[in-house]
Structure 1
Amino acid sequence: MAYQTFQQEYMQMPAITRAYTTSCVLTTLAVQLEILTPFQLYFNPELIFKQFQIWRLLTNFMFFGNIGFNFFFNMIFTYRYCRMLEEGSFRGRTADFLLMFIFGGSIMTAIVASGLVVNQVFLGQAFTIMLVYVWSRRNPYVRMNFFGLLNFQAPYLPWVLLGFSLLLGNSIMVDLMGIAVGHFYFYLEDVFPLQPGGFRMLKTPAFLKWLCNPVHEDPAYNPLPEDRPGGFDWGGEGERLGAQDEPRGD
């Protein structure tokens, strides 16, 4: 019964979210089982462009480290905000959502390859922050709660996560890159087109629209509302990981 429930929930996930989160989990499991090693996955321009190990352009976004707190934390946020974007502002626009993936991944790859950000060989966390940033800017009035300690509006969430990374002793360059790329995408898509003389600079190619041709939805499909902040009940009642809804006033 539990397996059937999980299978049903899994198949109801939107296509891009299902593909990306599954790839991340399978990649991590493959490393954990020693089928692969991180040395076969990390971003290395010399190996990519001189030895044509093209897969590294993708796999460096799929590995979040060994299974542990950091992995689960990142995967929860990746799944929640990826799904809420795909079922919210990108609902019925799978090709446009895939274009955002390609755009964000390409900009991050160019930044690391140019040497502007050094010693970053796995970019999955930066990609997650980008998703969080775009969602937070498109849901500016959602009130959020972080670990039961902080109350704030959604646009502050990426900065709260950056501060949390700093407290854990992690480099904040990854978070800053995700925020910068997310803001760049948000500006091109949501700000510049509304300016006098503005227009949409990111146009989805026809082949992506053909590739992502929408399918008929299952009547039982139950999407997550986009204005529902990500979070996870951790351990028991009152213990929460990440951001949760805060009751709104009348």
Structure 2
Amino acid sequence: MAYQSLRLEYLQIPPVSRAYTTACVLTTAAVLELITPFQLYFNPELIFKHFQIWRLITNFLFFGPVGFNFLFNMIFLYRYCRMLEEGSFRGRTADFVFMFLFGGFLMTLFGLFVSLVFLGQAFTIMLVYVWSRRNPYVRMNFFGLLNFQAPFLPWVLMGFSLLLGNSIIVDLLGIAVGHIYFFLEDVFPNQPGGIRILKTPSILKAIFDTPDEDPNYNPLPEEQPGGFAWGEGQRLGG
């Protein structure tokens, strides 16, 4: 019964969030038994001169050895990726995949200049940033100590990362790419004379978008990012 319940819960996760989170967990499990991080990290010379193309993907999938940092990143990745897919990207799977590709491309481009070897944490911050800007009136609670509105969440996470002794370059990269996407997708098209620059390719729409919604689909409410003491929130006035 427990296995069946877990399986059903797993299958209720929307497809992109399920695929990405699962790939991250499996990559970490593989590092424990089969491979090493040296086979995964971002290295432009190995990618473009030795054609180790898989590194363009695997550097987004490894978050370090199992420990607090890994669990922290996995929880935030799962929660905010899922809330985006079930919230503002509901019924727009192709657009969500395009955001993944656009964000991954920009991070890879910037990664050439900032010497980062793994970009998964920056990608998580990007997802958090986009969610926070699309839910500006949600009140957040961090570890039960700090109350703030959602748009400040990426900066709070950056401060927490700094307290843990980590480099903030990764967080700044995620915030920068998240802001570029949010501006091009949500802000600029709504300005006088603005146009929509980011257009999801029709091939992605043909692959990922389906006309009929599953009537049994049970989304996770986007405005309730709680469940964990360091990321609870509620909408103002609710």
Question: How would you bin the TM-score normalised by the shorter chain?
Answer: over 0.9
1:86-165 aligned at under 5 Å gives the runs 86-113=85-112, 115=113, 117-118=114-115, 120-165=116-161
The corresponding residue for 1:38 is 37
The corresponding residue for 1:245 is 233
User: TM (normalized to structure 1)?
Assistant: 0.92
Check whether the contact 1:77–1:231 (CA below 8 A) recurs between aligned residues: no
Report how far residue 249 of structure 1 moved: 5.2
The corresponding residue for 2:19 is 19
Q: C-alpha distance in 1, partners of 2:130/2:21? A: 18
| Pairing 1:205–2:201 present | yes
Residues 179, 81 of structure 1: CA spacing in aligned structure 2 closer, same or farther, 3 A cutoff? same
Match of 2:210 among 201, 211, 214: 214
The corresponding residue for 2:175 is 179
Q: For residues 187-227 of structure 1, what are the alpha-carbon distances to aligned partners after superposition, in whole Å with 9 as ceiling and x for unaligned? A: 00010001111011000111101110327444332111111
The corresponding residue for 1:72 is 71
Percent of counterpart pairs with the same letter? Answer: 73
Q: C-alpha distance in 2, partners of 1:201/1:96? A: 13
1:55-66 aligned at under 5 Å gives the runs 55-66=54-65
Unmatched 5+ residue regions in structure 1?
233-239
What secondary structure does 2:50 align onto? Answer: coil
Residues 162, 63 of structure 1: CA spacing in aligned structure 2 closer, same or farther, 3 A cutoff? same
Check whether the contact 1:129–1:178 (CA below 8 A) recurs between aligned residues: yes
User: TM (normalized to structure 2)?
Assistant: 0.96
Report how far residue 36 of structure 1 moved: 1.0
Check whether the contact 1:64–1:74 (CA below 8 A) recurs between aligned residues: yes
Q: For residues 95-140 of structure 1, what are the alpha-carbon distances to aligned partners after superposition, in whole Å with 9 as ceiling and x for unaligned? A: 0000000000000000011x1x12x100000000000000000000
Check whether the contact 1:41–1:59 (CA below 8 A) recurs between aligned residues: yes
Q: C-alpha distance in 2, partners of 1:124/1:151? A: 27
Q: C-alpha distance in 2, partners of 1:73/1:32? A: 19
Q: Look up the equivalent residue of 1:190 and give its one-letter code.
A: D
Q: Look up the equivalent residue of 1:59 and give its one-letter code.
A: T
Q: For residues 47-81 of structure 1, what are the alpha-carbon distances to aligned partners after superposition, in whole Å with 9 as ceiling and x for unaligned? A: 00011110000000000001111111000000000
Q: Look up the equivalent residue of 2:109 and give its one-letter code.
A: A
Aligned residues: 238
Report how far residue 2 of structure 1 moved: 1.1
Check whether the contact 1:77–1:230 (CA below 8 A) recurs between aligned residues: no
Q: C-alpha distance in 1, partners of 2:190/2:216? A: 37
